[in-house]
Amino acid sequence: MRSLLFVPGDSPKKLDKALQSGADALIIDLEDSVSAANKEDARKITRDFLNEHAGDEAPPRLFIRINDLETPYWESDVKLILKSSPAGLVLPKAHSGEDVHHLSVALDHLEARAGLESGSCKLIVLATERPMALLQMASFVGSSARLIGMTWGAEDLSVALGARRNRGDDGNYTSPYRLARDLCLVTAAAAEVDAIDTVYTNFRDLDGLRRTVEEAARDGFSAKMAVHPSQIPVINEAFTPSRDELEQARAIVSAFEDAGNAGVVALDGEMLDRPHLLRSERILARARAAGLS
């Protein structure tokens, strides 16, 4: 997964449009983009959409962002949609790995009761929306075998911190939100799950989006969330290895093979050892996943 497009769960029109966006995954939202009055409608629209498209030939993976565990909504969200076999759930406003564990146990029971394969519903956690979560990031590591990704958000966090703004005059996030981003990246690596970069909300500014997504790919994120279909091509491109990157990775892997899988080799005057080989193998794996070869 390179791109995950948010779609409000109460909009059948946007749901249909999202299928054509080229996103690797959709995050159908039952939370902040759906008003309290529309929660029940959004659940039913989402369930019907899942039922209609779960069997599609090559659909984007369909994730559902449920409401957070402090609301009266989340249990109804999960009960109504789980039988329609979403790829997974996105848990917002987690306080710690304890919340991921709690949701996972609830899913164990519901899957058993619905006759679904145990553990089939995966989880992605929004790990930086609560200040307490930042203080307990390590608790997400090993919190559930269902956990496949971690992502971060600056909007709810900045409200919780009492901040007036979360960006400086240069448009970049200020240090509390850089900290949240970096902790998410490091924790996802420790947990061996996908690190997914947050949304770029100014959806008309594709140059700004390109800059942040290139920074994300450079630093180790493997995907980014989106709020608008126009953002998907930019995100997919940034997370797909370029031809130069691919050639370089192939040359490095060959250099090690030619040297009888030696620990260290020289290529074009550069010393290369194990981390270089691992990085190149990862680039080739990403290219295969993106349908390049």
Binding residue (CB under 5 A) for Mg ion from 40, 108, 111, 156 = 156
Long-range contacts of 55-60 (CB under 8 A, 24+ apart): 59/19, 60/5, 60/18, 60/19, 60/21, 60/23, 60/24, 60/25, 60/26
Q: Which residues pair with 137 in a beta bridge?
A: none
Binding characters for ligand COA, 187-216, by CB under 6 A (x = yes): ------------x-----------------
Q: Does 100 bind ligand COA (CB under 6 A)?
A: no
> Contact 110/157 with Cβ under 8 angstroms?
no
Residue 26 CA to residue 186 CA, distance in Å, equals 24
Question: How many CB atoms within 10 Å of residue 187?
Answer: 23
Q: Which helix (H) or strand (E) holds 238?
A: helix 232-239
Q: Does 215 bind Mg ion (CB under 5 A)?
A: no
Q: How many helices (H) and strands (E) does the chain have?
A: 11, 10
What residue number has its CB nearest to Mg ion?
32
Binding characters for Mg ion, 8-37, by CB under 5 A (x = yes): ------------------------x-----
Q: Does 6 bind ligand COA (CB under 6 A)?
A: yes
Q: Does 32 bind ligand COA (CB under 6 A)?
A: yes
Q: Does 28 bind ligand COA (CB under 6 A)?
A: no
Query: Contact positions toward Mg ion, by CB under 5 A?
Result: 32, 156
Query: Contact positions toward ligand COA, by CB under 6 A?
Result: 5-8, 13-14, 17-18, 29, 32-33, 199, 227-229
